[in-house]
Structure 1
Amino acid sequence: MNTTKNTDIVSAQIVQLGSQIITLKTENNEVITVSRPASTRKDKLFMKTMHDILKSGLWIPVNKKLKQILRYDWFDTPVESYSF
């Protein structure tokens, strides 16, 4: 059974974009690196969206234990549907 602790999901800002690695910084200045989701490899808008999020300084939800950017906001979506 895969359980997610409340502390596993954090807000983070993108600080660096690579073609395959995205580097983020949490509110506690913890650095997290995540791999670009395989499901986005052919998605031309994904990297443009990530670049726009980087430029704007938006905070996005990240599972720091699994090192995954979450697809949805955590208010209305079950935990099982969060990651790419």
Structure 2
Amino acid sequence: MKNTPDNVTASDNIVSAQVIALNDNVITVKTEDSEIIKIKQPVSTQGDNLFLETMKDIVRSGLWIPVNRVMRIIMRYDWFDTPFEKYSYV
């Protein structure tokens, strides 16, 4: 179902997307509906080699990440902020 002004909610703005390109502080993603969204790299991550390497790994793996299509930002949920150790099932 396509979103029309009458049935769009705030949650409709958050979509799954794959990172398809990284260049010049711009992250390009493609949604499940094949919408291409260009996102400016957050200022707080510019010059952060760990962030860049993480984004490269996400491109290589084809993972889907949450993106706000209207605000053009990568959503920062537990998938990005929680240390690996917290996901242990031991």
Task: Place the TM-score, normalised by the shorter chain, in its bin.
Answer: 0.7 to 0.9
User: Aligned match of 1:23 in 4, 21, 28?
Assistant: 28
CA contact under 8 A between 1:25 and 1:32: conserved in structure 2? Answer: yes
User: Aligned match of 1:58 in 59, 63, 69?
Assistant: 63
The normalised TM-score by structure 1 is: 0.79
What is the identity, as a one-letter code, of the residue corresponding to 1:70?
M
The count of residues paired between Structure 1 and Structure 2 equals: 71
1:35-69 CA-partner distances (Å, limit 9, x unpaired): 00001013210010000000000000000100001
Identity of aligned residues (%): 52
Rg larger in 1 or in 2? Answer: 2
**Unpaired runs of 5+ in structure 2?**
1-8, 80-90
What is the identity, as a one-letter code, of the residue corresponding to 1:47?
L
| Structure 1 residues 29 and 73: CA distance shift in structure 2, 3 A | farther
| Structure 1 residues 66 and 50: CA distance shift in structure 2, 3 A | same
RMSD: 1.6
SS in 1 for 2:52: helix
The normalised TM-score by structure 2 is: 0.74
User: Which is helix-richer, 1 or 2?
Assistant: 2
**Unpaired runs of 5+ in structure 1?**
75-84
**CA separation in 1, counterparts of 2:16 and 2:29?**
9
Structure 1 moving runs of 4+ over 4 Å: none
